[in-house]
Amino acid sequence: MADKQAFFDHITNGYQTEGESITLGAAMLDGETMTNALVKVPLKTMNRHGLIAGATGTGKTKTLQVLAENLSEKGVPVLLMDMKGDLSGIAQPSPGHRKIDERHEKIGIPFTPQKFPVEIMSLSEQNGVRLRATVSEFGPVLLSRILDVSETQAGIISVIFKYCDDNKLPLLDLKDFKKILQYATNEGKEEFSEAYGRISSASTGAILRRIVALEQQGGDLFFGEKSFDTDDLLRIDENGRGYINIVRLTDIQDRPNLFSTFMLSLLAEIYTTFPEQGDSGRPELVIFIDEAHLIFKEASDALLDQIESIVKLIRSKGVGLYFVTQNPTDVPDAVLSQLGLKVQHALRAFTAKDRKAIKLTAENYPISDYYETDEVLTSLGIGEALVSALNEKGIPTPLAATLMRAPMSRMDVLEDKELKDLLNDSKLIDKYNETVDRESAYELLNEKIDIAEKEEAKEKAEKEKKAVRSRSSSRKSTRQNPIVKVLSSPTVIRSVLGILGKLLK
């Protein structure tokens, strides 16, 4: 048996903070909760990214909810990717329960039910604030990586963007991009060849097929106007609490390409537009990506490189990324190495492969004098987790098996009426939910083609008129005057010659 007082001191000293912090729960030793041995995460390090992992039903979503609530309470806005549709209850207070009171009594902190400011958002036709981006905002590099095209095809996409910039053709949605691809190899073939070199129809055909595949996953709903302004993710309510923006994704679980497209677009836009924060003491925004394996599942190497680059760089903008998934191996090693907070719920060992994966996972945590990490990973109960964080100096905290606190808000979905009321109170829906289809490349190119066709038809008609006049003139020049024709006939000529002969005699 370990010395409980030594363990208590080990935890309280290791998790001591000077600035603001979020309390996750209390440390456990030999299955017993050490009341007031609080496991805390400094608010200052919440932009160092993190991982919440564990088998199904172990409490990952509730941990996500606890972190989101506490960040909001401290004035930090949050963005949640809600894949299972069970996070909307954050907008209503917890009804409370005897077991929750017992849990918090063991931890040593009071339980106070409360609701939080919530904005419901959507990538599809579900109710909520519509999230969109234009093709132009994506740019040729991101679009090429999303489409996973070859180097040659990526070059063509860059040329397409350059042509549209040079000719002031807005690229807003996918129909704009498809139209310019078709134009480049048909009506505008000569124009492109003169200015940018020949464009292969085989390459544009391959790009077009990938665009169609993206459309089938819902890309036609995502690309367009009005573009979402990322500053609207940073709103604070009248009580100084950060808004919790929940993106409902229950209907796109089988469309990972659309999810990857959205996430990469969002992260790139945030990195481009947010100012550098330096060491500000608190994050500007924290993003939780539930079912994070969907981002990486079918991502190309180029797309993974882009995501890894953004994860490494976006911290300087005051943005924290938290990946929520069943197994840490769902997240690439290059991303895992950037994570400061790890909350590992129980893993299940049903096969030899599972046991091997658990041993590898255990090696990613600090060595502890109080735990056999691989054994603890399989013995944790629901709402318990191994926690490893960074202190205010960026040093890893002691590993702690933790009894996690309960969410202050409802651990369930909103009822239909509650959801309707929440949407009716939204200040962003009117701003973003009107579909705008202003004149862009599609319409301008169609107009250009129509004018060209009319000019071509006019030129063709003029040529035909000239040809008719030419044929008519030719016929007139070879046709003899009737009088000339009579006088020049052989009979008349002989008669005239006969008369002239007699006169001469």
Q: What is the pTM of this model?
A: 0.83
pLDDT class for 326, splitting at 50, 70, 90? Answer: confident
pLDDT class for 497, splitting at 50, 70, 90? Answer: low
Check pLDDT > 70 for residue 379.
yes
More confidently predicted of 321 and 350: 321
Q: Are β-strands 319-325 and 50-53 bridged in parallel, bridged antiparallel, or unpaired?
A: parallel
Six-digit token string for 97: 């329960």
With residue 64 as reference, give the H or E element that holds it: helix 60-73
Pair 419, 87: CB distance under 8 Å: no
Check pLDDT > 60 for residue 478.
no
- Give, in order, the Cα–Cα distances in Å from 202 to each of 151, 152, 178, 184, 290: 14, 11, 14, 12, 39
- The pLDDT mean for the chain works out to 85
3-state secondary structure 347-406: CCCCCHHHHHHHHHHHCCCCCCCCCCHHHHHHHCCCCEEEEECECCCCCECCCEEEEECC
DSSP letter for 280, please. -
Six-digit token string for 485: 């024709």
In tens, the pLDDT along 270-309 reads 888 899 887 678 899 999 988 888 777 766 676 678 778 8
Check pLDDT > 70 for residue 501.
no
With residue 202 as reference, give the H or E element that holds it: helix 201-214
pLDDT class for 353, splitting at 50, 70, 90? Answer: confident
Q: Which residue in the block uniquely carries the two structure tokens 């819902």? A: 218
- Give, in order, the Cα–Cα distances in Å from 207 to each of 161, 188, 270: 14, 17, 27
What would the mean pLDDT of 118-122 be, rounded to a whole number? Answer: 94
Six-digit token string for 339: 């994570």
Is the torsion defined by CA of 83, 116, 69, 244 positive or negative? positive
Other beta carbons less than 10 A from residue 5's beta carbon: 9
| pLDDT for residue 264 | 80
What would the mean pLDDT of 138-146 be, rounded to a whole number? Answer: 84
Give the span between the Cα atoms of 470 and 466, in whole angstroms: 6
Check pLDDT > 60 for residue 486.
no
What would the mean pLDDT of 403-415 be, rounded to a whole number? Answer: 94
More confidently predicted of 384 and 301: 384
What would the mean pLDDT of 87-103 be, rounded to a whole number? Answer: 94
Number of H helices, E strands in the chain: 20, 12
Instruction: Mean pLDDT check: name the lowest of 29-33, 57-61, 202-206, 464-468.
Output: 464-468
Pair 252, 159: CB distance under 8 Å: no
Q: Are β-strands 285-290 and 78-82 bridged in parallel, bridged antiparallel, or unpaired?
A: parallel
Q: Which of 157-171, 323-337, 404-418 has the highest mean pLDDT?
A: 404-418
Q: What percentage of the chain exceeds 90 in pLDDT?
A: 38
Give the span between the Cα atoms of 293 and 302, in whole angstroms: 17
